[in-house]
């Protein structure tokens, strides 16, 4: 399990939720792959933030994803009660005691792409409100609050790198500080899912109104 979480914000943060604009950095150990020459699959951190419309997740890697031009990257979400032990890409991944209900798969070759899925009596595709932006050593995921679920105020998640074949494991898991798998032919296992808390979109609007009222009283 990851042991280092950093909060970056210019305002005080309550224990229940983060203000819009705050970000949380979830750090991962490096050099923990079964083949450490694949540094573009070695996750170093994920930085999560949100506003009224979107949740943003920046995943960064030890090596260049543009130089290698191959690799798949997955985010699994536990946003609601219930869910499934499976995943939409049928990867050889064990999520432990967690059941997931949202799934994002992505790739960096040929300019990159994203493939979103929801689970309800099975997996079904839903890319509405999803996009990625690639840099040399990172992927920025923009995820609409509607895609995640407008009533979601907290979600669990894990980030995984993987290969290009359907039966590949997660080569690196953000939730694991040790190696997640022994090789391409072995399955991988998540640690405890990480948690990100956020207020409902309506609460953000109320916070904005309250801030405006306070600003007017100071004048």
Which domains occur in the chain, in start order? 5-11+19-218 (2.60.40)
* Band of residue 5 on the pLDDT scale cut at 50, 70, 90: low
Phi, psi of 120 (to 5 degrees): -155, 105
What's the predicted TM-score (pTM) here? Answer: 0.85
Residue of 130, 135, 158, 150 whose CA lies nearest to 198? 150
Q: Strand locations in the chain, DSSP E?
A: 5-8, 23-27, 43-50, 54-61, 72-78, 93-94, 102-107, 113-119, 123-125, 130-134, 138-144, 154-162, 170-173, 188-189, 194-197
Taking only the tens place, the pLDDT of each residue in 179-210 is: 999 999 999 999 999 999 987 655 444 444 44
Helices of type H across 4-158: 65-68, 145-148
The answer for residues whose C-beta is within 8 angstroms of residue 114's C-beta and 6 or more apart is: 104, 105, 106, 127, 130, 131, 132, 141
| pLDDT attached to residue 202 | 54
Contacts of 204 (CB under 8 A, 6+ apart): 20, 51, 52
The DSSP secondary-structure symbol of 84 reads B
Strands 43-50 and 23-27: antiparallel
Whole-number average pLDDT of the chain: 87
Average pLDDT over residues 137-148: 98
- Report which of residues 131 and 22 the model is more confident about: 131
Q: Which of 139, 189, 184, 141 is nearest to 1 (CA)?
A: 189
* Neighbour count for residue 194 (Cβ, 10 Å): 20
């Amino acid at each position: 399990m990851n042991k280092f979480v950093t909060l970056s914000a210019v305002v005080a943060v309550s224990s229940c939720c983060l203000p819009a604009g705050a970000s949380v950095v979830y750090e991962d150990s490096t050099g923990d792959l079964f083949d450490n020459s694949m540094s573009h699959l070695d996750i170093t951190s994920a930085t999560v933030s949100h506003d009224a419309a979107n949740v943003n997740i920046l995943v960064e890697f030890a090596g260049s994803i543009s130089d290698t031009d191959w690799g798949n990257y997955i985010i699994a979400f536990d946003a609601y009660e219930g869910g499934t032990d499976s995943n939409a890409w049928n990867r050889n991944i064990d999520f432990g005691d967690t059941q997931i209900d949202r799934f994002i798969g992505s790739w960096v070759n040929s300019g990159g792409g994203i493939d979103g899925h929801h689970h309800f009596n099975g997996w079904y595709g839903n890319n509405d409100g999803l996009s990625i932006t690639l840099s040399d050593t990172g992927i920025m995921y923009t995820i609409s609050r509607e895609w995640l679920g407008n009533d979601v105020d907290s979600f669990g998640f894990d980030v995984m790198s993987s290969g290009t074949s359907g039966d590949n494991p997660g080569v690196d898991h953000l939730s694991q500080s040790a190696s997640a798998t022994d090789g391409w032919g072995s399955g991988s296992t998540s640690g405890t899912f990480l948690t990100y808390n956020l207020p409902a979109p309506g609460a953000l609007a109320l916070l904005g109104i309250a801030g405006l009222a306070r600003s007017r009283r100071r004048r």
